[in-house]
């Protein structure tokens, strides 16, 4: 059953990828020549079908994994991230049906693909649940939070499109820089996924001595250019290079700090190369490419889609990430709130989106400022999911 | 002459009220609270850091003398109970209350006491609308039926028609805010005496312990760990019996992870455990022949002073539950836990002089003196668990739960229920209908079109849905 699930998962990934490619091709064609409109629209409708097929396949994959393992498949980073990717695509499918806005696909489907690919970086094997996770609140807390975050992701895509659309009329240098930086970060994330998946498939692994944080041997899945404190040059090799070249600064005390720093460095290098290649090929800044892709879509509608994403996601997120989380924490540890970093970041996310929702009813704050907040909101979501685990430790150590 | 100049002077209370009644201020407060929450997740908080140093020493050492002192001075080391965090929370609470009071009456009038006969121009100018021919005595008959079929509440008055549904959606934000206030009140109740209790107890297998802050006792009938085949722990549980103040057993229940025991508003949570060596089954063996003389049971947690074994008398001279050698090279115990028990016994054989010997029940082969006529062989050692139970009482909890429920209902009502309303009047043989909704315009537009199509199919064809991109 687990094997079946992984085939279905692969099928879903291929479908999402096809959907993203079809949507992007559609936009490119539409821009080229009005004669291609009909062909482009056919591609767009195939893109939608591919997205629907992907959502169904992944739904089956989740069900198969659930049946095969006998436990809710929402207990580790792979399972969580892929579920979130699923909910992004699910909300995209729903919102697309509501709004008939195929252009959205070229921005949201790639986000879904990236999240699913990111999920595949983590170990995929089924692990038995530790005692604290054996609760009915696990599926409730995790699925609702992930559904909310999926809707926020769609909102992020639409807000980005809105900002790219309206910069033709009004902009300033800060917003221009921020937009370009958003694309650069996207390139780094893509760089990370390409590296991580490449080395995972290639089966690369290196073990290096570590003197920080109580873990004596640190296992790297990427070549250790930066080793931990205590590592010696030559402990690992990559393409004949004696690694690590340097070790992490001593003030970084976390057990995995050096590994994370190394990953960040390599991803930034890969991302910069990727960004540079696109920049050189296109001969314009990436934000300009984005603006061309968005074309003359109705900005009001984009703004509305971005708002709807948050309006749909906010109650789900409130229920999953705060209400169910608090009830579960009370049941498991006897305290509904402990200011654990993950918990606090969920609150920060919630406060931030609450701020957004109030902004929408304040005159003068509803347009571009709100769109920036909607875009930044999803960055906070991702930091809560990924960054908190890398930076700080807490009770929420499983995912 | 200059009437605009004679603005009524607002006093401080009015201005404070206006300040908190502003959505702009509420928005800023929300973002401020979000930003203020970040610091505490990056700086290790008091009581959470892994060090025995007091805060005044820990922070300068961990973050450097200047920054460390700054953290201490600003309260960043206990960010979520610092004056600035609590001030922000109070301001948000004030904003919640005042915004709600400010807007309650106008909203009540608009939603619950709607005006069915507003200015005709207002109806005509509404974003969603249609007209259809008025026929017969009851021009609204078919429209009212269509609206009722769609679960609208229809009012016909003064020759006008008013219909609406989804009023709860308009109240959603209020419900959410009330829920949030309840959560804040429930959390704030901790400050009252007798509301909140947090304790920790250790209960060894078979032991009876008074539960602090309550009038009952808890007896451990045994702690248990289950493992998966992989060796990973599957569950921790303590089988317990609750005993009341008079010594009567009230109930028998198992406390496990996610399954606390609740009695008289006090809850016990499985939270920790440790294992000790309990009882050792020891054989007394004749060194020369290797024949077993007799056996006895040694309680490693509380050994007896004297044992009589097969005519031999064993007297406990010293007991080291956690044997080690101290700085002076003398035998000592490193802790009171039974980790590595060591005994000094004076053995009196039935027909010889007494002698003194060491015995390590976990390592019977380790002997300081192998010339004694008898030796000890450990046959079996049992494990005794001590379960760590968290004791909690929080009378604010029901308030929190109700608050969370109310808040959930509120957010779902706000975003999943749209308030939709129609006004209609007749003019020149036509019924003019205008519609308004507070959210989800697209879906409302479709509904309006469907109703229009139903009433006048020729004029209102069901067209394609709205298209986002121009060709």
How many CA atoms lie within 13 Å of A243's alpha carbon, on the beta-carbon side? 19
CB B322 within 8 A of CB B333: yes
With CA atoms as reference, report the closest residue to A220 among A236, A232, A241: A236
Same domain? B284 vs B374: yes
* Of the listed ranges A38-47, A370-379, B155-164, the one predicted with least confidence: A38-47
Supply the CATH number for residue B232's domain: 2.60.98
- For residue B78, the 8-state DSSP code is G
How far is Cα A252 from Cα A268, in angstroms, rounded to an integer?
A: 19
CA distance B374 to B347: 9
Handedness of CA A196, A200, A204, A209 (dihedral sign): positive
CA-based nearest distance B233→chain A, Å: 6
Nearest to A314 among B392, B397, B415 (CB): B415
- B266, B392 contact by CB (below 8 A): yes
d(CA B420, CA B445): 11
More confident residue, A213 or A256: A256
Q: Is A19 helix (H, G, I), strand (E, B) or coil?
A: helix
- Region A117-130: what's the mean pLDDT? 86
Domain identity same for B68 and B214:
no
Placement of tokens 């109070």 in the chain? B90
Shared-domain flag, residues B261 and B326 = no
Residue B470: the pLDDT is: 42
Q: Copy the structure tokens of residue A224.
A: 């250790």
What integer pLDDT is reported at residue B462 of this predicted model? 74
> Do residues B296 and B370 share a domain?
yes
The first and second tokens of residue B89, run together, are 């929370």
A314 touching B (Cβ < 8 Å): yes
The alpha-carbon gap from A238 to the nearest alpha carbon of chain B, in Å, equals 34
Would you state the pLDDT for residue B230? 86
Q: Report the chain A residue with the minimal C-alpha distance to residue B465.
A: A100
Based on the domain organization, do B303 and B261 belong to the same domain? no
Q: Which two tokens stand for residue A123?
A: 């170990």
Whether the predicted pLDDT of A392 surpasses 70: no
Distance CA A106, CA A96 (A): 12
Cβ(B301)–Cβ(B292) below 8 Å = no
DSSP B214: S
Contacts of B85 (CB under 8 A, 6+ apart): B36, B37, B75, B79
Query: In this structure, are B247 and B232 located in the same domain?
Result: yes
Q: Most A CBs within 10 Å: which of B411, B413, B441, B447, as the mutation test of the A interface? A: B411
Label residue A176 by pLDDT band (50, 70, 90).
very high
Residues B138 and B264 in one domain: no
**Final residue of a domain: which of B54, B75, B105?**
B105
Q: Is residue B93 part of a domain?
A: yes
> Among residues B62, B86, B105, which one ends one of the domains?
B105
Residues in chain B with CB shorter than 8 Å from the CB of A297 are: 468-469
**Strand ranges for chain A from DSSP E:** 206-209, 217-220, 226-227, 236-238, 241-243, 246-247
Tokens of B354: 């007494």
> Rounded to an integer, what distance in angstroms lies between the CA atom of residue B58 and that of residue B50?
10
Same domain, B249 and B397: yes
Please tell me the predicted confidence (pLDDT) of residue B463. 61
Chain A residues with beta carbon closer than 8 angstroms to that of B404: 322-323, 326-327
Contacts with A261 (C-beta within 8 Å, 6 or more apart), sequence order: A226, A248, A252
Tell me what ipTM this predicted complex has.
Answer: 0.88
Is residue B407 less than 8 Å (CB to CB) from chain A?
A: yes
The two tokens of residue B93 are 């609470």
For A272-309, the pLDDT digits (tens) are 999 999 999 989 999 998 888 888 888 888 998 899 99
Q: Tokens representing A306?
A: 């971005």
Considering B86, B105, B124, which residue would you say is the last residue of a domain?
Answer: B105
| pLDDT confidence of residue A218 | 81
DSSP state of B465: P
Q: How many CB atoms lie within 10 A of CB B466?
A: 15
Q: Average pLDDT in the A146-161 region? A: 93
Q: How does pLDDT run across A237-257, given as a tens digit for each residue?
A: 888 888 888 887 776 666 677
Cβ of A99 and B411 within 8 Å? no
Given this model, what pLDDT does residue A367 score? 84
Instruction: For residue A344, give the nearest of B37, B400, B401 by CB distance.
Output: B37
For A31-186, strand residue ranges (E) read none
The Cα of B88 is separated from the nearest Cα of chain A by a number of Å equal to 13
Contact status of B415 with chain A (Cβ, < 8 Å): yes
Residue-averaged pLDDT of chain A: 88
- Claim to verify: residue B225 and residue B98 sit in the same structural domain: no
Assess if residue B323 is contained within a domain: yes
Q: What is the pTM of this model?
A: 0.88
Residue B162 pairs with which residues in a beta bridge? B155, B423
Are B258 and A331 a contacting pair at CB < 8 A? Answer: yes
Task: Work out the minimum CA distance from B464 to partner chain A, whole angstroms.
Answer: 10
The answer to whether B423 touches B160, Cβ cutoff 8 Å, is: yes
d(CA B416, CA B410): 10
Bridge partners (DSSP) listed for residue B437: B420
Q: Is B442 contained in some domain?
A: yes
Q: Which residues span the domain enclosing B376?
A: 278-381
Residue B64 within a domain: yes
Alpha-carbon distance of A56 to A144, in angstroms, equals: 19
C-alpha span between A22 and B464 (Å, rounded) = 23
Whether pLDDT at A394 is above 90: no
Q: Is residue B41 assigned to a domain?
A: yes
Return averaged pLDDT per consecutive 10 residues of chain B, 471 residues in all: 56 89 93 93 83 87 87 91 94 92 90 91 93 87 94 92 95 94 93 91 92 92 91 91 92 93 93 89 90 90 89 92 88 87 91 89 85 89 92 94 97 95 92 91 88 90 54 38
Whole-angstrom distance, CA of residue B331 vs CA of residue B360: 13
Tell me whether residues B468 and A315 touch, CB distance under 8 A. Answer: no
Structure tokens at A211: 């003197």
In a domain, B111, yes or no: no
Task: Find the angle CA(A6)-CA(A11)-CA(A16) to the nearest 5 degrees.
Answer: 125
**Residue A286 to chain B, least CA–CA distance (Å):** 22
Q: Is residue B173 part of a domain?
A: no
Residue A331 sits at the chain B interface (C-beta within 8 Å): yes
- Write the burial class of residue B149 (CB in 10 Å: 0-12 exposed, 13-18 middle, 19+ buried): exposed
CA–CA distance, B394 with B391 (Å, rounded to integer): 10
Task: Please name every residue paired with B155 in a beta bridge, in sequence order, or none if there are none.
Answer: B162
Same domain, B150 and B233: no
Task: Indicate the DSSP class of residue B322.
Answer: B
pLDDT of A397 > 70? The answer is no
Any domain includes B177: no
Question: What does the pLDDT look like over B291-347, one tens digit per residue?
Answer: 888 999 999 988 999 999 888 999 999 999 999 888 888 888 888 888 889 999 999
Q: Are residues B91 and B30 in the same domain?
A: yes
| For helices A257-282 and A173-202, angle between their N-to-C axes, nearest 10 degrees | 120
Kindly tell me if the per-residue pLDDT of A361 is higher than 90: no
CATH of the domain at B426: 3.30.310
Q: B202 and B151 in one domain?
A: no
Count of domains in chain B?
4
Chain B residue with CA closest to A342: the answer is B41
């Amino acid at each position: 059953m687990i094997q079946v699930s992984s085939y279905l998962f692969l099928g879903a990934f291929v479908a999402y990828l096809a959907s993203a490619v079809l949507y992007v091709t559609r936009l490119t064609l539409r821009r080229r020549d009005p004669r291609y409109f009909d062909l482009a629209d056919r591609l767009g409708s195939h893109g939608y079908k591919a997205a629907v097929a992907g959502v169904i396949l992944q739904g089956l994959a989740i069900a198969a994994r659930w049946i095969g393992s006998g436990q809710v498949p929402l207990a580790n980073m792979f399972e969580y991230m892929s579920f979130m990717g699923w909910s992004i695509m699910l909300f995209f499918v729903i919102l697309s049906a509501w709004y008939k806005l195929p252009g959205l696909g070229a921005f949201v489907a790639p986000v879904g693909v990236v999240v699913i690919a990111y999920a595949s970086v983590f170990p995929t094997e089924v692990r038995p649940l530790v005692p604290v996770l054996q609760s009915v609140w696990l599926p409730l807390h995790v699925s609702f939070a992930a559904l909310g975050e999926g809707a926020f992701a769609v909102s992020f895509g639409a807000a980005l499109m809105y900002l790219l659309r309206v910069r033709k009329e009004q902009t300033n240098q800060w917003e221009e820089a921020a937009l370009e930086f958003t694309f650069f970060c996207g390139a780094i994330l893509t760089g990370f996924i390409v590296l991580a998946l490449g080395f995972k498939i290639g089966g690369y692994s290196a073990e290096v001595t570590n003197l920080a944080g109580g873990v004596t041997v640190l296992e790297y899945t990427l070549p250790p250019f930066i080793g931990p404190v205590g590592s010696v040059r030559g402990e690992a090799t990559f393409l004949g290079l004696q690694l690590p070249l340097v070790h992490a600064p001593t003030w970084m005390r976390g057990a995995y700090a050096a590994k994370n720093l190394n990953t960040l460095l390599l991803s930034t290098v890969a991302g910069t190369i990727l960004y540079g290649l696109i920049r050189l090929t296109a001969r314009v800044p990436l934000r300009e490419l984005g603006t061309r892709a968005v074309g003359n879509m109705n900005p009001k509608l984009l703004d509305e889609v971005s708002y709807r994403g948050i309006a749909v996601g906010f109650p789900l997120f409130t229920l999953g990430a705060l209400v169910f989380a608090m009830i579960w924490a009370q049941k498991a540890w006897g305290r509904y709130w402990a200011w654990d970093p993950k918990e606090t970041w969920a609150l920060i996310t919630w406060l931030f989106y609450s701020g957004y929702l109030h902004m929408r009813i304040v005159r003068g704050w509803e347009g571009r400022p709100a769109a920036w907040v909607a875009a930044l909101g999803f960055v906070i979501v991702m930091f809560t999911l990924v960054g908190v685990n890398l930076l700080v430790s807490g009770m929420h150590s499983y995912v | 002459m200059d009437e605009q100049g004679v603005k009524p002077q607002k006093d401080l209370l009015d201005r404070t009220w206006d300040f908190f009644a502003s959505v702009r201020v509420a928005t800023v407060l929300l973002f401020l609270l979000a930003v203020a929450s970040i610091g505490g997740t990056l700086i290790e908080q008091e009581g959470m850091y892994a060090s025995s140093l007091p805060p005044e020493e820990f922070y300068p050492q961990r973050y450097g003398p200047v920054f460390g002192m700054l953290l201490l001075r600003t309260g960043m080391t206990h960010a979520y109970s610092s004056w600035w965090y609590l001030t922000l929370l109070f301001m948000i609470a004030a904003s919640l209350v005042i915004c709600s009071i400010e807007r309650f009456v106008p909203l009540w009038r608009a939603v619950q006491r709607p005006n069915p006969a507003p200015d005709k121009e207002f109806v005509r100018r509404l974003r969603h609308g249609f007209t259809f021919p008025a026929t017969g005595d009851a021009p609204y008959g078919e429209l009212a039926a269509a609206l009722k079929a769609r679960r609208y509440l229809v009012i016909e008055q003064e020759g006008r028609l008013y219909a609406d549904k989804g009023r709860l959606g308009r109240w959603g934000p209020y419900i959410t805010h009330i829920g949030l206030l309840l959560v804040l009140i429930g959390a704030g109740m901790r400050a009252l005496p007798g509301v909140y209790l947090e304790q920790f107890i250790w209960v060894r297998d078979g032991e009876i312990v008074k539960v602090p802050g309550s009038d009952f006792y808890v007896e451990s009938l045994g702690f248990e760990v289950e493992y998966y085949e992989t060796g990973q722990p599957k569950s921790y549980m303590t089988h317990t019996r609750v005993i009341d103040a008079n010594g009567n057993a009230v109930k028998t229940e198992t406390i496990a992870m996610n399954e606390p025991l609740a009695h008289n508003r006090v809850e016990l949570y499985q939270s920790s455990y440790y294992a000790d060596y309990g009882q050792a089954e020891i054989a007394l063996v004749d060194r020369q022949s290797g024949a077993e003389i007799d056996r006895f049971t040694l309680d490693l947690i509380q050994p007896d002073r004297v044992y009589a074994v097969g005519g031999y008398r064993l007297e406990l001279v010293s007991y080291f539950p956690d044997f080690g050698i101290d700085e002076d090279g003398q035998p000592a115990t490193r802790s009171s836990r039974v980790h590595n028990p060591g005994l000094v016994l004076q053995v009196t054989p039935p027909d010889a002089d007494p002698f003194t010997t060491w015995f390590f029940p976990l390592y019977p082969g380790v002997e300081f003196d192998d010339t004694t006529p008898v030796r000890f062989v450990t046959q079996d050692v049992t494990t005794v668990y001590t379960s760590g139970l968290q004791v909690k009482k929080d009378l604010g909890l029901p308030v929190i739960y109700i608050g969370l429920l109310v808040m959930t209902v509120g957010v779902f009502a706000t975003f999943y229920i749209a308030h939709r309303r129609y006004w209609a009047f007749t003019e020149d043989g036509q019924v003019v209908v205008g519609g308004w909704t507070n959210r989800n315009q697209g879906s409302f537009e479709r509904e309006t079109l469907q109703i229009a199509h139903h009433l006048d199919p020729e004029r209102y064809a069901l067209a394609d849905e709205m298209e986002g991109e121009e060709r």
